[in-house]
Structure formats: structure tokens, C-alpha cells
Structure 1
Amino acid sequence: MRTNRWTISGGILLLLSTLLILVMGCNKDPYMPDGEATYYGQGDGRFGGNNEEQPLLGSIKIMTYNIHAGSPPAYPDSVDMPAIAKAIATANPDVVFLQEVDRGTNRNGYTGDQAKVLADSLKMNFIYYSAREYLRGFYGVAILSKYPLYTVRKYLLKLENESTEQRVLGTAYIDLPGRDSVMAAVTHLQHNSATNRLQQANDIAGILALSDAKVVFGADLNEQESATGFFNVFDQMLTRTCIGGNCPRTFNAQNPTSVIDYLAYRPATAFSVITHSVVAEHYASDHLPVIAELKFHR
């Protein structure tokens, strides 16, 4: 009987150990790009909270910025996060949409968490959305906000074939002053396939259609204004903050010749554009930061 009791006890321990391993397996590193896992970094509500009794915002300033993994094109073997932070601080946005954001990659010898570093420097909240593993770290997009972020979601966009990269749409609600909120959405579309970009635009349209919330959106779409088929889809779901040949060029930062970085919103009746411009920062990245101020219509 003693032997049987030990056998039963050993079986129970083995079962408990197996269950623990399964639970740990389900709670894998949240930077992993497959599935809905999203890195929070405990940075989503540090600043701007307890704002219910504050007055409603009359307008909101939004920025999109492809930060080129913090590597200045003139110095490709280095990372200069203070220069990126300074470019953002110059415009003083309420919300920032970031693309090409590294975490722990050891690219150019930098192993830090770029979204957190920028958020800490700017005293903003942040959410990082991993898109894929890269150099033993992760590569993706992020949202920075002066106000708390909640109900965070990450969506995998269409992966066309082996020559294309996994891309994601990241969303989060922003707790604005005065019992108000808006959804923020960030993405970075495929660089080497126009058909894949169109597929991804359709994916985003379907995702955003699931909510009737006010949305502010920032992205490196990797698509020029002349792409009629793409913008026939895009402009049905979002209103760009600038349309037409007079929009300031965003790429490349050293000699801007094209617009591939965009800010937008929905529904069209929720906002109107007060200003749209680029920040003249030609050192820190190969893209210029794009900034717009939107007036609320409630």
C-alpha cells in the first residue's frame, strides 16, 4: 500500500507539473508576433489619468513617424534615440504612431526597448505591437499617448507569400479628458508588393468596420498618392488629413520626393483638419514626422 500511495502521489505531481508547463506555454513572451499576444510593458496608463473632471479637448494633435529603428541614415551603424525623441517633442503631439520600432534586436549594438525609451523620455504612455522576430528580438509598431490606453488589440494582416513580411494593425482606445475617448490605430504596410498592400487595406477596412468609435490613424502605407486602386479602398474607410499634390513630402527625409506616410480619421464628420505638416527633421530617420491637428465635432 505504501508503494501504491507513493505511485499515486508521484502521478499527481507529474500531472500538476504537466499542467504548469501547459499554462506557462500559453503565457509565452508577449512580444511573440503570432497570435493576439501584445506587449503592454506596463506603460499604458502611467500618465494623464484621473482626467474625468477635466474639460473636453477641443482638438487633438496626432503624429506618425517611421523611426528607422532609431538609426540615422548618415550613421547606419549607430542608434540615436534622443534625436527621435527630440523630433517628436518639437511638435508636442497628443498621440504618436510609430513604425520600424525595435525591442531587444541588438541591431547596431542596441538592445533596448525603443517604445519604452521614447515613452519614458517624453512622459507618455505606450503600447508596442510586435510584427515579427528579428535578430533575437522583435520588430513592429507602437502607439505613444499623453493619456491612458486601454482595450488593446493586435491584428495580423494578410501575408501574401514567403517574400513578404508579417504586418500588423495595432489598436487601442485613448482615455481622453472629460469622459471622452477615441480609438487609435497604427500600421506599416508591405514595402515590396502593391497587391499585398491592397489586401492589407481591405483587412484594415474590415477590422475598423467592427467598431463605430471615432478613430485616429497613422501609418507608413508604403504607397504613393497616385495609387488609385489602393486609395479607392482606403478613402472609403478613412479620411486623410491631406489629399492632393500640395501635401508635404515625407520620404526620404534627406531629399523628400514622395508621400508614403499618412494620418487619417473616421468618421468624416467627427473631425476637421486644422493643420497638416511635416517636422523638418532630416537627421534622425529616413522618414519625416507628419503632424496634424484635428478639431473635434461632437
Structure 2
Amino acid sequence: MKYIGSLLLLILFIYNPLSAQRIHVMSYNIHHGANKQEVNTLKEIGLFIKASGADLVGLQEVDSMCNRSGNEDQMKKLAEITGMHYAFVRHFAYDGGAYGLGILSRYPISDVKNDRITSLPKGTEKKSLALLSAKISLPGKKEIIFSTVHFALDQPTRITQSLETISYLKRGLPVILTGDLNSEPGQQEILQLEEGHANIGLEGVNVLTYPDDKPVKRIDYIFVSRDDLKKVASSVVNSNIHHSDHLPLMAEVVLKK
């Protein structure tokens, strides 16, 4: 009986999903739900995400009730297609609605934040963009911070945004950060993030993400807080998905218990 009891405990340990924090993550700039030809592809994006098996998805360039995208609440629609929880925050009002960031999660979402990072697009007027983060309740009562961001086109602003992002995400929990950072590996803003976060997929083959048809650079990222990452099981850029002007980046990561 003692042997049988020990065997049952071993089986429960092996098959209990609570013992392993294996997470499928995606970062995807969806180009307001349209491909490069401005054809609406929101449904195709939703079906792709659903079929991908992603647990957590960080989305950039998301519209909410904008004229150009058919006055649709894009995150609500994607949540309906995928069956996932969702959150949306705006960068700013745009075209009759709002333009911003979204996340999809297979697990419950709470404590959604719209932290503001510096944006100096033109002139000297200081503006801001969104940094979307939320607390995700994983199986086993483990909580993490999942976040997505879209950095500026000019490097001085990106360097500031990188430091602000690091500061905002210090919330005492493991962090997964996704985003279109408009920056290639090795630049200062990326190196700043790498000081405390693993840059997932950096050493992989075919990691270029933009543009979607003939990619020439990597500007889309997944980062995981270095102290909380056990291993990267896989990472891939889906080069055959052309629903946006970016390619989706996916990774399977295992967090420490």
C-alpha cells in the first residue's frame, strides 16, 4: 500500500499542470487588423491566435471603434473568436475611437494598468504613449505581470521609454514583456531591457519580423524576467502568416516554481 501511495503521488506530480509553469507567449503587431493592402484581416488574426495555442498574447496597433477599421471593438472581437480574457488601453483618441494596445490571456486578468511612457514625436511638446500591463493568475495560484508596449521611431525617445518600462514593471512578480520596440538587437534601449530580462529567441534562426513579406529586421520582442526564467523550450517567427505588416513572434517558456 505504501508503494502504491508513493506511485500515485508521483503520477500526480508528473501530470499535475500546477507543478509546471510552461507558457506559450505571442507578440504581434496587428496593424489595426489589416494586412499591408489595408484589407481587413481581424477575423483571420483571431483564428490564427486560437489555432496557435498561445496562452498570453501581446498586441500592438489595436483599434477600438475607429472609422478606418469598421467601428469595431477589436479586442472584444478577438476575445470572442479565441475564447480568451482580454484588456485594452489607449495611446490616444483616434479616428472616432481609440488607438492602443491589447492583451489576450487564457487565464484570468486583474489589476490592468495603463502606465504612460514618454513620447516626443514632433516639436518640444511632451506627450505619452501607453504601457499596458496586467496581473495574470496562472494555474497553481502563481501570479505574473504580463505586459505589451510599442516604442517610438526615434532612438533617444526609445532609450527613455525603455528605462521607464523597466521601472513600471517592478511590481514584485515575474514579468513577461512583449512589444514592437522599433529597435534592432544590440541597440542601447534593448541592452537596457536585457540587463534584467532574457531576450527570447535572440539566438534563433529566422528571427526577422518586419516587414511580413520580405523581412529585413527584427523589431518585435518577448522578454522574461531573468531570475524567473527556467528555460526557453522553443521560439519561432511565423513567416507564413501575412495578416499584418509584421510577423508574429511566438515562444514557449518555462518559469521557475
TM-score (norm 1): 0.76
Match of 1:115 in 2: 75
**SS at 1:73 equivalent:** coil
Question: Could you tell me which residue of structure 2 aligns to residue 230 of structure 1?
Answer: 189
Aligned residues, how many?
A: 240
**Could you say if the C-alpha distance between residues 232 and 80 of structure 1 is closer, same or farther in structure 2, counting changes exceeding 3 Å?**
closer
Go from structure 1 to structure 2 and tell me whether the alpha carbon gap of 1:161 and 1:188 turns closer, same or farther (over 3 Å shift).
Answer: closer
Partners of 1:98 and 1:179 in 2: CA distance = 25
Per-residue CA distance 1:243-288 (angstroms, 9 max, x = gap): 2474511111111111000001113343311101012344210011
Shift of residue 162, structure 1, vs aligned partner: 3.4
Q: What code does the residue aligned with 2:244 have?
A: S
Equivalent positions of 1:171-186 (< 5 A) are 171-186=133-148
- Name structure 2 gaps, 5 residues minimum: 1-15
The CA RMSD over aligned residues, in Å, is: 1.9
Give the residue type in structure 2 aligned to 1:256: P
What do residues 40-90 of structure 1 show as CA deviations (whole Å, max 9, x unaligned)? xxxxxxxxxxxxx9734440111000000011113x2x3121111122123
Aligned to 1:194: 155
Decide whether aligned partners of structure 1 residues 54 and 235 sit closer, same or farther in structure 2, where only a CA change above 3 A counts.
Answer: closer
Of the structure 1 ranges 194-203 and 266-275, higher mean CA displacement relative to structure 2 is found in: 266-275
Residue 278 in structure 1 maps to residue 241 in structure 2? no
Give the alignment partner of residue 63 of structure 1, picking from 26, 35, 59.
Answer: 26
Please state how far the C-alpha of 1:207 moved relative to its aligned partner.
1.3
Whole-Å Cα distance in 2 between the matches of residues 239 and 189 of structure 1?
Answer: 18
Percent identity reads: 26
Give 5+ residue unaligned stretches, structure 1: 1-52
Change (3 A) 1:165 1:220: farther
Give the distance between the partners of 1:292 and 1:170, measured in 2 at CA: 20
Per the TM alignment, residue 184 of structure 1 is displaced from its structure 2 partner at its CA by 0.4
Superimposed CA distance per residue, residues 159-216 of structure 1 (whole angstroms, 9 cap, x where no aligned partner): 225368732111111111121111101101112x11001110011111123x220111
- Give the aligned partner of residue 157 of structure 1: 117
The alignment partner of 2:227 has SS state of: coil
Matched position secondary structure for 2:122:
coil
C-alpha separation in 1, matches of 2:191 and 2:61? 26
Which structure is larger by alpha-carbon Rg, 1 or 2?
1
Selected match of 1:126 from 73, 79, 86? 86
State TM-score, norm by structure 2: 0.87
Give the match's secondary structure for 2:67: coil
